[in-house]
Amino acid sequence: MFEGLENKKYTKIELLQMKPLVLAFVGDCVYELYIRNFLITEKYRDVNDLHRKSVFFVKAKAQAHILHELEEELTEDEQNFVRRGRNAHPHTVPKNADVVDYRYATAYEVLIGYLYLSDNKERLEYILKKSIEIGRIRDESRK
């Protein structure tokens, strides 16, 4: 999905020096773009359906759930970035999000931002595909 989209490959030291909320800022964008790209290949063609489905995948509760499901598969480096993200202190929490879910969602976005900025495309693609699988299972279980 990200072919042709060139970005600077950051070193691990540069990424460790970056504030977690900066990584989350990037990760949020990458994840949302991936979800939108995924949804337009699915049966959801109506813009309202697309919006509802994208919100289902990108809301804090969903991201927190995905991260909990992925945690055992994460490398030590990934776990360290997740921990930094979970411990970051955003200035605001959306009124419709639980504080704990929001912290885990931020940690998930930090993970995505870290993988994207480190140019670890294979691992990023794996985590994003796995995230969709987890989200789909969660979606099916609510029906």
Q: How close are the terminal C-alpha atoms of the chain, in Å?
A: 30
DSSP string for 23-85: HHHHHHHHHHHHHHHHHHHSS--SHHHHHHHHHHHHSHHHHHHHHHHHGGG--HHHHHHHHHH
What residues act catalytically? Answer: 28
